[in-house]
Amino acid sequence: MGIEAAYSPAEMMTAVAARELRDGEVVFVGIGLPNLACNLARATHAPNLVLIYESGAVGAVPERLPVSIGDPSLVTGSLMVCGMADVFQSFLQNGRMEVGFLGGAQIDRFGNINTTVVGEYGRPAVRLPGSGGAAEIAIHAKRTVVISRLSRRAFPERVDFITSPGHVARGGTRRQLGMPGAGPVKVVTDKAILEADDATGELVLAALYPGVEAGEVCAGIGWTLRCRPGLKQVDPPSTAELALLREVLDPHRLYLKG
Amino acid sequence: MREAVATLVGDGDTVVIEGFTHLICFAAGHEIIRQRRRDLTLCRLTPDLIYDQMIAAGCARKLVFSWAGNPGAGSLHAFRRAVEGTGGAALELEEYSHFGMVGRLCAGAARLPFWPMRNYMGTDLPAANPRIATIECPYTGERLATVPALNPDVTIVHAQRADAQGNTQIWGLLGVQKEAAFAARRVIVVVEELVDERVIRADPNRTLIPGLIVDAVVVEPWGAHPSYAQGYYDRDNPFYVDWEPISRDEAALAAYLNEYVYGVADRAEYVARCGGLERLGADARVCAGVNYGY
């Protein structure tokens, strides 16, 4: 035994993200931990999960760990390969994407995400990659799950730039701005799960990982984090989940190293 | 390739070299660098290493894009130095999301002035790029985002195969190559293999770009390396990882360009300098084909 006790934060985050997916759902998959989480869910409780990658692979069944979002293994054996105009118009804008995964350098109190710049847009201290498909995924996916490690730098009260809108974004709420999707309903971190408060859209502490105190979570958040009454405890990764992650899905520990 | 770039890519042109991870034409990018084209407006969803190299080589005046990173491996540091003001010439940016870039090329291909989409509300992207606008739908009254058409002077597409007329077949990830080709004033197709017209006619559904919009066909095996060509060779993932320290160091990047771009006459010499690329050769996963009979 002992395997239950010894797991990395990345393994825990992946297992938690996988449990957010329900069998048969259509998922817009990102690279890295989201990709691992989707394939873990497919190998456990959600064998009928439909993985769609923004590169155009629909119903992908990658036989190796894709290191990029356009890996050739996403094509081999998939249900459909379409152009990117179809991905964004006929799938995403059409309302077919049930879950989208997002990450980012900064996530704020209302779930807005910044993947564009740290500092001023015209003269950034750090230039980040930009939106990619994230802005439209945040707007259109029926719900999104955000994955990010806690730190005050990663969770400021306000992001420097809103690349992907959260619950209260530039100019108002999602409803006021006419966004079709529900936005970031959960944020999976390395210590806890945050959820959006139904009334205010503010991210609040919803569940703690084994052995974590609420104070540790608050220390990694740049605003005064409110707690849900009756905080839940999250189960650690099971022996089966860990075995799949380590032996089948990421044997070279490309994404699970930390 | 030398002739195609010399005659079809000019200084100051708006250039699209498309391909989403798959079929990125490094061979054309390298030739543009060797011919020292200047003041280009480079457009791509994902600038990738090829535009990082072209920015470092001084080809670009402006970058139009939606995601500028080294996928899974790090940053494009020549791009970052230019934008963060820490080295290299200034680079003007025009930034969208993927959907926005896709819409720009759809409008360009349809020869419409703009493309509507339900997008960008709540984001700071329209403030960063005033070319992202809104319009009221004449039927529903809904306020929709718009992006302007992109009609490049030249689009360069890498493909598995084409015939001599440029009827081009692509399989695997398709990206926005079809829209980018139809949107352009001039089209260069670069292929792994030149095939007889009969091969094209045997499987017309696989033709993505018709020869009637193609200005030049270049045969350039391994022309997408370190990107890949489904069914021909795999992506050179270690190359992308190794690019991070090279890109980070201006001198190392200059040395790379000297050795692998300026220091070779053409793609064949590049492949030889890489020590051959056979290690990346694709496995056989051949599909059965269909009956086109009637």
Q: Using the beta-carbon criterion (under 8 Å), do A88 and B237 form an inter-chain contact?
A: no
Asked if the bond preceding A47 is cis, omega within 30° of 0, the reply is no
CB A54 within 8 A of CB A69: yes
CA–CA distance, A151 with A67 (Å, rounded to integer): 26
* pLDDT above 50: residue A1: no
Q: What are the structural domains of chain B?
A: 2-95+151-266 (3.40.1080.10)
At residue B111, what is the residue type? R
Looking at A25, A54, A136, A241, which residue is catalytic?
A54
Q: In this structure, what token pair is assigned to residue B259?
A: 């050795």
* pLDDT above 80: residue A5: no
CA–CA distance, B203 with B292 (Å, rounded to integer): 8
Is A54 noted as a catalytic residue in this protein? Answer: yes
* pLDDT above 60: residue B168: yes
Domain boundaries along the sequence of chain A: 9-249
**Percent of chain B at pLDDT exceeding 70:** 100
Question: What element of type H or E holds B78?
Answer: helix B77-84
* pLDDT above 90: residue A67: no
* pLDDT above 50: residue B256: yes
Classified as helix, coil or strand, A160 is coil
ipTM score above 0.85? yes
Of A54, A71, A134, the CB nearest to B235: A71
* pLDDT tens, residue by residue, A18-66: 999 999 999 999 878 888 999 999 999 999 999 999 999 999 998 888 8
Chain B positions touching A73 (Cβ under 8 A) are none
Question: What average pLDDT does this structure show over B82-98?
Answer: 94
Interface of A with B in 36-75 (CB under 8 A): 54-57, 67-72, 74-75
A178 near B CB under 8 A: yes
A118 near B CB under 8 A: no
Beta bridge partners of A26: A50
Q: Using the beta-carbon criterion (under 8 Å), do B118 and A135 form an inter-chain contact?
A: no
* pLDDT above 90: residue A255: no
pLDDT of residue B1: 97
CB B167 within 8 A of CB B200: yes
A88 near B CB under 8 A: yes
* pLDDT tens, residue by residue, B183-197: 999 999 999 999 999
Question: What average pLDDT does this structure show over A116-128?
Answer: 96
CA–CA distance, B291 with B294 (Å, rounded to integer): 9
Fold of A9-249: Glutaconate Coenzyme A-transferase (3.40.1080)
What average pLDDT does the structure give for chain B? 97
Interface of B with A in 77-136 (CB under 8 A): 79-80, 83-85, 95-99, 102-103, 105-106, 117-125, 127-128
Chain B positions touching A82 (Cβ under 8 A) are 174
Q: How far lies B270's CA from each of A12, A14, A21, A71, in Å?
A: 44, 41, 46, 24
pLDDT of residue B73: 84
CA–CA distance, B136 with A175 (Å, rounded to integer): 18
pTM for this predicted structure: 0.97
